[in-house]
Amino acid sequence: MDNNVVMALCQGLQAAGIAWLRFNFRGVGQSEGEYGGGVDERRDVLGALSFLAEQPRIAPGRVGLAGYSFGARVSLTVVEEAPQVRALLCVAPPLREPLPADAHPAYPFLVMVGDRDSVLAEGVERYASYLPDPRRLQVVHGTDHFWRGFEPILMDAAHRFFAKALPASGAEVSP
């Protein structure tokens, strides 16, 4: 939760005037528990979303979810179980096959990957075909999986994406 990508996403959210919550998955850092192969980590995401929903200053219609790498992949798996989420930004989710139908967000989402990231080993077109809407893929030239030196691009993307997808006016936004 303290890496450059997650920090850049949080800074972008802050610039958009949107509250954020960072957390470690079970067994990471000082978090209790053990790695659950992506299954138990779904509960971690859902638990964080429940905690966030209980906070008095959180607007229910302005809840978004952002994840990086494994966290992005897990975030895609909770789409059906997290009705409070209204927008999803995934950075470098490791996808090796098409997402199941229940992982297709019915709200705005964006997937960002670097053109030097190994998740694109089979090519951009193949990776894009794994998404429910390949037009939601943004490939950033020059960066790999770790985005070092590309943090300003992530900050700006998070700021613009969530400001548009979660407008303060409460207006509905189409996917």
Given this model, what pLDDT does residue 66 score?
94
pLDDT mean by block of 10 residues, the chain; 175 residues: 92 88 75 72 92 89 91 91 93 93 90 97 95 94 97 97 85 50
Global pTM reads 0.90
Instruction: Specify the pLDDT at position 28.
Output: 72
Helix 70-77 vs helix 40-53: crossing angle, to nearest 10: 80
- The pLDDT, as a whole number, for residue 92 is 97
Structural domains for the chain: 4-54+62-165 (3.40.50.1820)
**CA angle, residues 76, 53, 17, in degrees to nearest 5:** 85
pLDDT for position 101: 84
